[in-house]
Amino acid sequence: MGVALASAALVAPLKRHPPTIATYCSHSSLQIFHGARQEGYRTLGIAAGKPPRYYEAFPLARPDAFLSIPKLDQLPKYVSRLNREHAILVPHGSFVEYLGPERFAALPVPVFGNRAVLAWESDREKEREWLEGAGVQMPRRYETVDDIDGPAIVKYYGAKGGKGFILAKNKEALRDFRPTGPFVIQQYVLGTRYYIHFFYSPLSRDGYRVGPGSLELLGMDRRDEANIDELYKLGAQEELLAAGIRPTFVVTGNVPVVLRESLLPQVFDIGARIVERSIELFGGMVGPFCVEGIVTEELKFYVFEISTRIVAGTNVFPSGSSYADLVAPNLSMGRRMAIEISRAREQDRLREVLS
Rule CB under 6 A: say whether 225 interacts with ligand AMP: yes
The single-letter DSSP state of residue 163 is: T
In the complex, the smallest distance separating the C-beta of residue 240 from ligand AMP, rounded to whole angstroms, is 17
Which span (11-19, 40-48, 188-196, 323-331) binds ligand AMP, by CB under 6 A? Answer: 188-196
Least distance CB 237 / ligand AMP (angstroms):
14
Q: Does 311 bind ligand AMP (CB under 6 A)?
A: no
List, in sequence order, the alpha helices (H) in 59-173.
79-84, 93-99, 101-106, 117-121, 124-133
Using CB under 6 A as the binding rule, whether residue 188 contacts ligand AMP is answered as yes
Site for ligand AMP in 278-297 (CB under 6 A): 294
**The total number of residues written for the chain in this structure:** 355
DSSP H helix total and E strand total for the chain: 11, 14
Which x/- pattern, by CB under 6 A, does the window 112-151 give for ligand AMP? ---------------------------x------------
Closest by CA to 34, choosing from 56, 58, 16, is 58
Q: Could you say which DSSP state residue 52 is in?
A: P
Using CB under 6 A as the binding rule, the residues of this chain from 248 to 267 that contact ligand AMP are 249
Q: Which is nearer to ligand AMP, 15 or 160 (CB)?
A: 160
**Bridge partner residues of 328 (DSSP):** none
Q: Which residues pair with 210 in a beta bridge?
A: 213
Only one of the segments 13-21, 60-68, 78-86, 187-195 lies at the binding site for ligand AMP (rule: CB under 6 A); that segment is: 187-195
Cβ 301 vs Cβ 139: under 8 Å: no
* Calpha distance 142→125 (Å, rounded): 14
> Does residue 162 bind ligand AMP (CB under 6 A)?
yes
Q: Which long-range contacts (C-beta less than 8 Å, at least 24 apart) are formed by 277-281?
A: 277/130, 277/131, 277/133, 277/134, 278/117, 278/120, 278/130, 279/3, 279/211, 281/120, 281/130, 281/133
Which one among 189, 291, 303, 339 touches ligand AMP, defined by CB under 6 A? 189
- Which string of b and e fits 257-294 if b means at least 16 CB within 10 Å? bebeeeeeebbbebbbbbbbbbbebbbbbbbbbbbbbb
State the nearest-atom distance from the C-beta of 97 to ligand AMP, in Å: 12
Side-chain-side CA neighbours of 341 within 13 Å: the count stands at 35
The distance of closest approach from Cβ of residue 98 to ligand AMP in the complex, given in angstroms and rounded to an integer, is 17
Smallest gap from Cβ 101 to ligand AMP, in A, equals 16
193 versus 343: smaller Cβ distance to ligand AMP:
193
Q: Return the number of the residue (93 or 287) whose C-beta is nearest ligand AMP.
A: 93
Instruction: Establish if 39 lies at the interface with ligand AMP (CB under 6 A).
Output: no
Which is closer to ligand AMP, CB of 128 or CB of 343? 128
Task: Return residues touching ligand AMP (CB under 6 A).
Answer: 139, 153, 162, 186-189, 193, 223, 225, 249, 294, 304-305
